[in-house]
């Protein structure tokens, strides 16, 4: 008994339409954006009933590809949207249970259905591409950690913070010279106190008139002057 061969039956696969991959918009896509499109096409049903509700998180796309970063995957999705291969039907949001819900997409090369189940023809927005190339955004610099907060502030302002250090004061047992310290509230600069304000400074001598001296001192002064003569 001859075995009947089954022709045209293939294992599960991801279909890529030749009319899509031969368009100028597809040729303008980066390799990363093409890979992300294949991932989204993998989660589109054969009957296209979930077109417009296709979703995949950034982390899952990175796991499917085995490459890329979360930032690069976001850029590739924006690139697909720029060239008209996908359209976002709902943005990402936080669910009532606290779990994040990824954005939902519609693939423009396939038909979709409205709320009543009526089929809507494929729009194929990539065929209407005007030739404007996608500009890849620049990645912003990552913020430093908490321990690197001071260095990040210095790099931001461009000026290093200067700290004035008060010189060491003399020890308690050091009475040969006064300590060269500022007042208690002054920590930005030091000023040595004037000698007249030091409690151990010798008072200056001033001349006292002879007539203003007491009588005893004037008599002693006269006696001493007579003895000398």
Residue 54 C-alpha from the chain's centroid: 32
Domain ranges (residues) in the chain: 18-128
Give the pairing of strands 93-94 and 100-101: antiparallel
At residue 190, the pLDDT reads: 47
User: The tokens of 151 are what?
Assistant: 């260095």
Give the pairing of strands 104-107 and 100-101: unpaired
At residue 182, the pLDDT reads: 52
Using DSSP's 3-state secondary structure scheme, residue 70 falls into helix
At residue 218, the pLDDT reads: 74
- Among 12, 18, 55, 14, residue whose Cα is nearest residue 35: 14
Using DSSP's 3-state secondary structure scheme, residue 80 falls into helix
At residue 149, the pLDDT reads: 44
At residue 207, the pLDDT reads: 63
At residue 10, the pLDDT reads: 80
At residue 160, the pLDDT reads: 43
What is the phi/psi pair of residue 183, to 5°? -70, 170
Q: What is the pTM of this model?
A: 0.58
- Among 193, 188, 135, 192, residue whose Cα is nearest residue 163: 188
What digits encode the pLDDT tens for the residues 138-186?
877 655 555 444 333 333 444 444 444 445 555 555 555 555 555 555 5
CATH top-level class of 18-128: mainly alpha
At residue 100, the pLDDT reads: 83
Paired with 94 in beta bridges are 100
Question: Which residues of the chain fall below pLDDT 70?
Answer: 1-8, 141-208, 210, 227-229
């Amino acid at each position: 008994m001859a075995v009947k061969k089954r022709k045209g039956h293939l294992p599960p696969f991801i279909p890529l339409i030749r009319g899509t991959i031969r368009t100028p918009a597809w040729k303008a896509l980066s390799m990363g954006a093409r890979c992300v499109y294949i991932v989204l096409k993998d989660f589109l049903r054969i009957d296209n009933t979930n077109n417009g509700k296709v979703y995949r998180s950034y982390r899952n796309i990175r796991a499917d590809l085995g490459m890329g970063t979360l930032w690069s995957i976001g850029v590739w999705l924006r690139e697909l949207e720029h060239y008209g291969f996908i359209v976002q039907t709902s943005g990402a949001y936080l669910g009532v249970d606290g779990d994040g819900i990824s954005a939902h997409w519609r693939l423009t090369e396939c038909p979709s259905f409205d709320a009543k189940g009526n089929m809507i023809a494929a729009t194929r927005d990539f065929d209407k591409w005007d030739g404007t190339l996608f500009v890849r955004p620049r990645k912003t610099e990552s913020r430093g950690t908490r321990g690197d907060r001071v260095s990040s502030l210095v790099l931001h302002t461009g000026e290093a913070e200067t700290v004035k250090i008060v010189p060491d004061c003399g020890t308690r047992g050091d009475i040969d010279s006064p300590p060269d310290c500022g007042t208690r509230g002054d920590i930005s600069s030091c000023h040595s106190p004037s000698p007249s304000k030091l409690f151990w400074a010798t008072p200056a001598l001033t001349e006292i008139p002879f007539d203003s001296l007491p009588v005893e001192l004037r008599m002693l002064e006269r006696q001493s002057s007579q003895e000398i003569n």
